[in-house]
A = this chain, B = another copy of it.
Amino acid sequence: MTPVSARTTGTVRVVGTGLLGTSIGLGLSAIDVDVVLDDVSPSTLALAVDYGAGRRTGEADAPALVVVAVPPDVVAAVVAAELARYPDAFVTDVASVKAGPLSALEAVGAATERYVGSHPMAGRERSGPIAARADLFLGRPWVITPHAGSTAGQSAILEGLALDLGAIPVRLPADRHDDAVAIVSHAPQLVSSLLAARLVDAPDHATDLAGQGLRDTTRIAGSDPALWVQILSANAARVLPVLSDLRDDLDAVLEALADPAAPGAQRALADVLAAGNDGVARIPGKHGVDLRTTTLTVLIDDRPGQLARLLTEIGELGVNLEDMRLEHSPGAPIGIVEVSVLPEAAGGLEADLDRRGWRVA
Protein backbone atom coordinates (compact mmCIF):
# COMPACT_ATOMS: atom_id res chain seq x y z
CA MET A 1 0.00 0.00 0.00
CA THR A 2 1.72 3.26 -1.08
CA PRO A 3 1.51 5.98 1.58
CA VAL A 4 -1.34 8.41 0.95
CA SER A 5 -2.50 11.27 3.11
CA ALA A 6 -4.88 9.84 5.69
CA ARG A 7 -8.44 11.08 6.19
CA THR A 8 -8.23 9.81 9.75
CA THR A 9 -6.79 12.41 12.10
CA GLY A 10 -5.45 12.20 15.64
CA THR A 11 -4.45 9.08 17.54
CA VAL A 12 -6.43 5.90 16.88
CA ARG A 13 -6.66 3.38 19.69
CA VAL A 14 -7.32 -0.21 18.64
CA VAL A 15 -8.62 -2.44 21.43
CA GLY A 16 -8.22 -6.10 20.60
CA THR A 17 -5.29 -7.05 18.37
CA GLY A 18 -6.67 -10.12 16.66
CA LEU A 19 -7.08 -10.47 12.90
CA LEU A 20 -9.22 -7.35 12.42
CA GLY A 21 -7.63 -5.09 15.04
CA THR A 22 -4.09 -5.84 13.92
CA SER A 23 -5.05 -5.46 10.25
CA ILE A 24 -6.57 -2.04 11.01
CA GLY A 25 -3.40 -1.06 12.89
CA LEU A 26 -1.19 -2.21 10.01
CA GLY A 27 -3.27 -0.36 7.44
CA LEU A 28 -3.38 2.91 9.40
CA SER A 29 0.30 2.73 10.38
CA ALA A 30 1.17 2.27 6.72
CA ILE A 31 -0.27 5.73 6.00
CA ASP A 32 1.38 7.26 9.07
CA VAL A 33 -1.66 7.42 11.34
CA ASP A 34 -0.63 7.30 15.03
CA VAL A 35 -1.97 3.96 16.27
CA VAL A 36 -1.92 2.78 19.88
CA LEU A 37 -2.85 -0.81 20.72
CA ASP A 38 -4.30 -2.76 23.62
CA ASP A 39 -5.29 -6.36 24.23
CA VAL A 40 -6.19 -8.44 27.28
CA SER A 41 -3.56 -10.93 26.13
CA PRO A 42 0.00 -9.60 26.65
CA SER A 43 1.44 -12.07 24.12
CA THR A 44 -1.14 -11.16 21.48
CA LEU A 45 -0.43 -7.47 22.08
CA ALA A 46 3.33 -8.03 21.89
CA LEU A 47 2.92 -9.89 18.61
CA ALA A 48 0.81 -7.09 17.11
CA VAL A 49 3.39 -4.47 18.18
CA ASP A 50 6.23 -6.57 16.73
CA TYR A 51 4.21 -6.98 13.59
CA GLY A 52 4.12 -3.20 13.18
CA ALA A 53 0.43 -2.57 13.86
CA GLY A 54 1.17 0.28 16.28
CA ARG A 55 2.64 1.01 19.72
CA ARG A 56 1.41 0.14 23.20
CA THR A 57 -1.07 2.66 24.63
CA GLY A 58 0.59 5.05 27.07
CA GLU A 59 -0.98 6.86 30.01
CA ALA A 60 -0.60 10.18 28.19
CA ASP A 61 -2.28 9.05 25.00
CA ALA A 62 -5.61 10.75 24.28
CA PRO A 63 -7.13 8.93 21.28
CA ALA A 64 -9.58 10.82 19.04
CA LEU A 65 -11.00 7.51 17.81
CA VAL A 66 -11.24 4.18 19.58
CA VAL A 67 -11.82 1.05 17.47
CA VAL A 68 -13.03 -1.91 19.53
CA ALA A 69 -12.14 -5.18 17.81
CA VAL A 70 -12.97 -7.79 20.42
CA PRO A 71 -15.14 -10.95 20.36
CA PRO A 72 -18.91 -10.34 20.06
CA ASP A 73 -19.73 -11.51 23.59
CA VAL A 74 -17.64 -8.74 25.19
CA VAL A 75 -17.95 -5.97 22.62
CA ALA A 76 -20.69 -4.01 24.43
CA ALA A 77 -18.83 -4.14 27.76
CA VAL A 78 -15.54 -3.05 26.18
CA VAL A 79 -17.19 -0.23 24.19
CA ALA A 80 -18.86 1.02 27.40
CA ALA A 81 -15.51 0.91 29.23
CA GLU A 82 -13.77 2.84 26.43
CA LEU A 83 -16.51 5.49 26.36
CA ALA A 84 -16.01 5.95 30.11
CA ARG A 85 -12.19 5.87 30.01
CA TYR A 86 -11.89 8.40 27.14
CA PRO A 87 -14.65 11.02 27.62
CA ASP A 88 -13.49 12.99 24.57
CA ALA A 89 -13.11 10.06 22.21
CA PHE A 90 -15.45 8.82 19.49
CA VAL A 91 -15.84 5.05 19.70
CA THR A 92 -16.74 2.39 17.16
CA ASP A 93 -16.58 -1.39 17.06
CA VAL A 94 -16.13 -3.87 14.21
CA ALA A 95 -18.26 -6.75 15.47
CA SER A 96 -20.20 -8.88 12.97
CA VAL A 97 -23.54 -8.23 14.68
CA LYS A 98 -24.74 -4.67 15.32
CA ALA A 99 -28.22 -4.40 16.85
CA GLY A 100 -27.35 -6.29 20.04
CA PRO A 101 -24.35 -4.20 21.16
CA LEU A 102 -26.23 -0.93 20.58
CA SER A 103 -29.23 -1.92 22.69
CA ALA A 104 -26.91 -3.35 25.35
CA LEU A 105 -25.09 0.01 25.51
CA GLU A 106 -28.36 1.91 25.71
CA ALA A 107 -29.52 -0.46 28.46
CA VAL A 108 -26.52 0.38 30.64
CA GLY A 109 -26.84 4.09 29.88
CA ALA A 110 -23.51 4.32 28.06
CA ALA A 111 -22.65 7.52 26.20
CA THR A 112 -23.96 6.19 22.89
CA GLU A 113 -23.94 9.76 21.49
CA ARG A 114 -20.19 9.15 21.08
CA TYR A 115 -20.63 5.64 19.59
CA VAL A 116 -21.45 4.39 16.10
CA GLY A 117 -21.04 0.71 15.30
CA SER A 118 -19.47 -0.57 12.10
CA HIS A 119 -18.62 -3.85 10.40
CA PRO A 120 -15.93 -4.38 7.80
CA MET A 121 -17.04 -7.29 5.62
CA ALA A 122 -13.61 -8.87 5.62
CA GLY A 123 -12.09 -11.85 7.30
CA ARG A 124 -10.10 -15.01 6.85
CA GLU A 125 -10.45 -18.60 8.03
CA ARG A 126 -7.24 -17.89 9.94
CA SER A 127 -7.36 -15.71 13.06
CA GLY A 128 -5.03 -13.80 15.37
CA PRO A 129 -2.46 -11.07 14.69
CA ILE A 130 -0.23 -13.31 12.58
CA ALA A 131 -3.06 -13.68 10.06
CA ALA A 132 -3.45 -9.89 9.84
CA ARG A 133 -2.88 -8.01 6.61
CA ALA A 134 -2.77 -4.25 5.95
CA ASP A 135 -4.79 -4.88 2.78
CA LEU A 136 -7.43 -7.10 4.42
CA PHE A 137 -10.17 -4.52 3.78
CA LEU A 138 -9.20 -3.58 0.25
CA GLY A 139 -12.35 -3.34 -1.88
CA ARG A 140 -14.55 -4.84 0.83
CA PRO A 141 -17.77 -3.22 2.05
CA TRP A 142 -17.43 -1.55 5.47
CA VAL A 143 -20.89 -1.17 6.98
CA ILE A 144 -21.52 1.86 9.19
CA THR A 145 -24.65 1.69 11.35
CA PRO A 146 -25.88 5.15 12.37
CA HIS A 147 -28.54 5.36 15.08
CA ALA A 148 -31.07 7.89 16.38
CA GLY A 149 -28.50 9.38 18.76
CA SER A 150 -25.58 9.65 16.31
CA THR A 151 -24.62 12.41 13.89
CA ALA A 152 -23.79 12.48 10.17
CA GLY A 153 -20.36 13.82 11.14
CA GLN A 154 -19.64 10.70 13.16
CA SER A 155 -20.61 8.46 10.25
CA ALA A 156 -18.31 10.59 8.07
CA ILE A 157 -15.39 9.90 10.45
CA LEU A 158 -15.96 6.15 10.05
CA GLU A 159 -16.29 6.54 6.27
CA GLY A 160 -12.86 8.22 6.36
CA LEU A 161 -11.49 5.29 8.36
CA ALA A 162 -12.97 2.79 5.89
CA LEU A 163 -11.59 4.73 2.91
CA ASP A 164 -8.17 5.00 4.57
CA LEU A 165 -8.13 1.21 4.71
CA GLY A 166 -9.25 0.83 1.11
CA ALA A 167 -12.75 -0.33 2.04
CA ILE A 168 -16.08 0.78 0.56
CA PRO A 169 -18.26 2.53 3.18
CA VAL A 170 -21.93 1.49 3.28
CA ARG A 171 -24.50 3.06 5.65
CA LEU A 172 -27.17 0.70 7.00
CA PRO A 173 -29.32 0.71 10.14
CA ALA A 174 -28.16 -1.99 12.58
CA ASP A 175 -31.30 -4.10 12.09
CA ARG A 176 -30.98 -4.19 8.32
CA HIS A 177 -27.27 -5.00 8.61
CA ASP A 178 -28.04 -7.95 10.87
CA ASP A 179 -30.74 -9.22 8.52
CA ALA A 180 -28.30 -8.96 5.62
CA VAL A 181 -25.37 -10.78 7.23
CA ALA A 182 -27.69 -13.58 8.38
CA ILE A 183 -28.23 -14.33 4.67
CA VAL A 184 -24.85 -13.53 3.09
CA SER A 185 -22.51 -14.57 5.90
CA HIS A 186 -23.97 -16.44 8.87
CA ALA A 187 -26.16 -18.97 7.04
CA PRO A 188 -23.36 -19.73 4.51
CA GLN A 189 -20.95 -20.37 7.41
CA LEU A 190 -23.25 -22.97 8.98
CA VAL A 191 -24.10 -24.58 5.65
CA SER A 192 -20.42 -24.84 4.73
CA SER A 193 -19.69 -26.42 8.13
CA LEU A 194 -22.61 -28.84 7.79
CA LEU A 195 -21.33 -29.91 4.37
CA ALA A 196 -17.69 -30.23 5.43
CA ALA A 197 -18.82 -32.35 8.40
CA ARG A 198 -19.83 -35.03 5.86
CA LEU A 199 -16.13 -35.54 5.09
CA VAL A 200 -15.13 -36.49 8.64
CA ASP A 201 -15.97 -40.16 8.15
CA ALA A 202 -15.53 -40.24 4.37
CA PRO A 203 -13.12 -42.88 3.02
CA ASP A 204 -9.75 -41.66 1.73
CA HIS A 205 -10.57 -42.74 -1.82
CA ALA A 206 -13.44 -40.23 -1.64
CA THR A 207 -11.56 -37.25 -0.19
CA ASP A 208 -8.73 -37.96 -2.65
CA LEU A 209 -11.17 -37.09 -5.44
CA ALA A 210 -11.93 -33.67 -3.94
CA GLY A 211 -12.12 -31.03 -6.64
CA GLN A 212 -12.41 -27.25 -6.69
CA GLY A 213 -16.16 -27.37 -6.13
CA LEU A 214 -15.77 -29.15 -2.80
CA ARG A 215 -12.83 -26.95 -1.80
CA ASP A 216 -14.79 -23.77 -2.53
CA THR A 217 -18.01 -24.86 -0.83
CA THR A 218 -16.15 -25.95 2.33
CA ARG A 219 -13.37 -23.32 2.57
CA ILE A 220 -15.07 -21.20 5.24
CA ALA A 221 -15.83 -24.36 7.24
CA GLY A 222 -12.22 -23.92 8.39
CA SER A 223 -13.27 -20.86 10.43
CA ASP A 224 -12.82 -20.54 14.20
CA PRO A 225 -15.71 -22.33 15.99
CA ALA A 226 -15.38 -20.29 19.23
CA LEU A 227 -15.79 -16.98 17.38
CA TRP A 228 -18.64 -18.28 15.23
CA VAL A 229 -20.62 -19.70 18.14
CA GLN A 230 -20.70 -16.15 19.50
CA ILE A 231 -21.63 -14.56 16.17
CA LEU A 232 -24.38 -17.12 15.46
CA SER A 233 -25.79 -16.88 18.99
CA ALA A 234 -25.89 -13.09 18.75
CA ASN A 235 -27.81 -13.21 15.46
CA ALA A 236 -29.68 -16.50 15.98
CA ALA A 237 -33.17 -15.00 15.57
CA ARG A 238 -32.24 -13.77 12.07
CA VAL A 239 -30.29 -16.85 10.94
CA LEU A 240 -33.04 -19.25 12.05
CA PRO A 241 -35.65 -18.38 9.37
CA VAL A 242 -33.03 -18.52 6.61
CA LEU A 243 -31.96 -22.04 7.57
CA SER A 244 -35.54 -23.13 8.26
CA ASP A 245 -36.42 -22.28 4.65
CA LEU A 246 -33.34 -24.19 3.53
CA ARG A 247 -34.43 -27.20 5.57
CA ASP A 248 -37.85 -27.16 3.89
CA ASP A 249 -36.19 -27.19 0.45
CA LEU A 250 -33.82 -29.92 1.63
CA ASP A 251 -36.75 -32.08 2.68
CA ALA A 252 -38.18 -31.78 -0.84
CA VAL A 253 -34.79 -32.84 -2.25
CA LEU A 254 -34.60 -35.84 0.08
CA GLU A 255 -38.06 -36.94 -0.98
CA ALA A 256 -37.07 -36.67 -4.65
CA LEU A 257 -33.83 -38.59 -4.10
CA ALA A 258 -35.70 -41.34 -2.26
CA ASP A 259 -37.64 -42.09 -5.46
CA PRO A 260 -36.24 -40.16 -8.43
CA ALA A 261 -38.62 -41.97 -10.79
CA ALA A 262 -41.72 -40.79 -8.91
CA PRO A 263 -43.94 -38.20 -10.61
CA GLY A 264 -42.61 -34.71 -9.85
CA ALA A 265 -39.28 -35.93 -8.44
CA GLN A 266 -37.20 -34.70 -11.38
CA ARG A 267 -39.10 -31.42 -11.29
CA ALA A 268 -38.38 -31.02 -7.57
CA LEU A 269 -34.64 -31.43 -8.15
CA ALA A 270 -34.72 -29.11 -11.17
CA ASP A 271 -36.55 -26.44 -9.15
CA VAL A 272 -33.87 -26.40 -6.45
CA LEU A 273 -31.04 -26.32 -8.98
CA ALA A 274 -32.74 -23.56 -10.99
CA ALA A 275 -33.37 -21.54 -7.82
CA GLY A 276 -29.65 -21.91 -7.13
CA ASN A 277 -28.91 -20.42 -10.54
CA ASP A 278 -31.24 -17.51 -9.81
CA GLY A 279 -29.68 -16.98 -6.41
CA VAL A 280 -26.12 -16.85 -7.75
CA ALA A 281 -27.32 -14.37 -10.36
CA ARG A 282 -28.28 -12.02 -7.51
CA ILE A 283 -24.63 -11.72 -6.41
CA PRO A 284 -23.17 -8.57 -7.98
CA GLY A 285 -19.97 -8.71 -9.98
CA LYS A 286 -18.00 -11.21 -11.99
CA HIS A 287 -18.68 -14.16 -9.72
CA GLY A 288 -22.37 -14.07 -10.47
CA VAL A 289 -24.19 -13.50 -13.73
CA ASP A 290 -25.04 -9.82 -13.80
CA LEU A 291 -28.75 -9.56 -14.60
CA ARG A 292 -28.32 -5.90 -15.53
CA THR A 293 -26.46 -6.79 -18.70
CA THR A 294 -26.78 -9.32 -21.53
CA THR A 295 -23.68 -11.19 -22.65
CA LEU A 296 -22.95 -12.08 -26.27
CA THR A 297 -20.28 -14.65 -27.11
CA VAL A 298 -18.19 -13.93 -30.20
CA LEU A 299 -15.61 -16.31 -31.66
CA ILE A 300 -12.55 -14.56 -33.05
CA ASP A 301 -9.59 -15.97 -34.98
CA ASP A 302 -6.43 -16.16 -32.95
CA ARG A 303 -4.75 -13.46 -35.06
CA PRO A 304 -3.27 -10.14 -33.93
CA GLY A 305 -5.71 -7.25 -34.02
CA GLN A 306 -8.86 -9.36 -34.15
CA LEU A 307 -10.04 -8.33 -30.70
CA ALA A 308 -9.20 -4.68 -31.36
CA ARG A 309 -11.14 -4.85 -34.63
CA LEU A 310 -14.17 -6.36 -32.87
CA LEU A 311 -14.20 -3.71 -30.15
CA THR A 312 -13.72 -0.95 -32.73
CA GLU A 313 -16.70 -2.19 -34.73
CA ILE A 314 -18.84 -2.45 -31.60
CA GLY A 315 -17.93 1.17 -30.95
CA GLU A 316 -18.83 2.10 -34.53
CA LEU A 317 -22.21 0.49 -33.93
CA GLY A 318 -22.67 2.95 -31.07
CA VAL A 319 -23.00 0.21 -28.46
CA ASN A 320 -21.47 0.81 -25.04
CA LEU A 321 -19.60 -2.15 -23.52
CA GLU A 322 -20.59 -2.80 -19.90
CA ASP A 323 -18.02 -5.56 -19.53
CA MET A 324 -15.72 -7.63 -21.71
CA ARG A 325 -14.00 -10.92 -21.15
CA LEU A 326 -11.57 -12.76 -23.42
CA GLU A 327 -11.11 -16.47 -22.96
CA HIS A 328 -8.49 -18.28 -24.95
CA SER A 329 -7.84 -21.96 -24.64
CA PRO A 330 -4.18 -22.92 -25.14
CA GLY A 331 -5.25 -25.68 -27.50
CA ALA A 332 -7.66 -23.66 -29.60
CA PRO A 333 -6.92 -21.65 -32.77
CA ILE A 334 -9.68 -19.21 -31.91
CA GLY A 335 -10.60 -17.07 -28.94
CA ILE A 336 -13.89 -16.54 -27.18
CA VAL A 337 -14.92 -12.96 -26.46
CA GLU A 338 -17.79 -12.30 -24.12
CA VAL A 339 -19.18 -8.80 -24.48
CA SER A 340 -21.72 -7.63 -21.94
CA VAL A 341 -24.08 -4.88 -23.03
CA LEU A 342 -27.37 -3.44 -21.81
CA PRO A 343 -30.21 -5.88 -22.57
CA GLU A 344 -31.92 -3.41 -24.92
CA ALA A 345 -28.77 -3.20 -27.06
CA ALA A 346 -28.04 -6.93 -27.26
CA GLY A 347 -30.47 -7.92 -30.00
CA GLY A 348 -29.38 -5.21 -32.43
CA LEU A 349 -25.70 -5.78 -31.72
CA GLU A 350 -25.99 -9.51 -32.35
CA ALA A 351 -27.65 -8.87 -35.70
CA ASP A 352 -25.15 -6.16 -36.68
CA LEU A 353 -22.12 -8.28 -35.78
CA ASP A 354 -23.59 -11.22 -37.63
CA ARG A 355 -24.14 -9.00 -40.68
CA ARG A 356 -20.51 -7.84 -40.47
CA GLY A 357 -19.41 -11.48 -40.60
CA TRP A 358 -18.56 -12.06 -36.95
CA ARG A 359 -19.34 -15.50 -35.58
CA VAL A 360 -21.75 -14.87 -32.68
CA ALA A 361 -22.31 -18.11 -30.78
Contact residues of A with B, CB < 8 Å?
Answer: 1, 26-27, 29-30, 47, 50-53, 121-123, 130, 132-135, 140-141, 143, 170, 172, 176, 179-181, 183-185, 187-200, 202-203, 205-211, 213-223, 225-226, 228-229, 232-233, 236-237, 239-240, 242-247, 249-251, 253-254, 256-258, 260-261, 265-266, 269-270, 272-285, 287-289, 297, 299, 329-334, 336, 359, 361
Contacts and interface: CB of A to CB of B under 8 A. Distances in A.
A181 B195 contact: no
Contact of A199 (B229, B257, B279): B279
A116 to B, nearest CB: 18
A287 B215 contact: yes
B143 A276 contact: no
B229 A330 contact: no
Contact of A134 (B29, B222, B285, B331): B331
A194 B276 contact: yes
A188 B240 CA distance: 21
B257 A209 contact: no
Nearest to A208: B284
B334 A52 contact: yes
Contacts of A243: 250, 253-254, 257
Nearest to A328: B133
A197 B332 contact: no
Nearest to A248: B194
Contact of A257 (B27, B50, B239, B297): B239
Contacts of A329: 26, 51, 132-135
Copies held by the complex: 2
Contacts of A297: 130
Contact of A282 (B200, B285, B289): B200
A140 B214 CA distance: 13
A216 B217 contact: yes
B246 A195 contact: yes
Contact of A331 (B27, B181, B217, B222): B27
Most buried by B among A184, A205, A215, A246: A184
A254 to B, nearest CB: 6
22 contacts: A50-B359, A52-B331, A123-B211, A123-B213, A183-B199, A190-B272, A193-B273, A194-B253, A195-B276, A196-B275, A197-B249, A200-B275, A216-B219, A222-B276, A222-B277, A225-B273, A225-B274, A233-B266, A237-B257, A240-B257, A243-B254, A244-B254
Contact of A135 (B183, B239, B331): B331
A287 B176 CA distance: 33
B333 A52 contact: yes
Given A209-B170, A331-B1, A194 B272 contact: yes
A229 B270 contact: yes
A348 to B, nearest CB: 22
A249 B219 CA distance: 19
A352 to B, nearest CB: 20
Contact of A130 (B27, B53, B228, B336): B336
B279 A200 contact: yes
Most buried by B among A240, A284, A289: A240
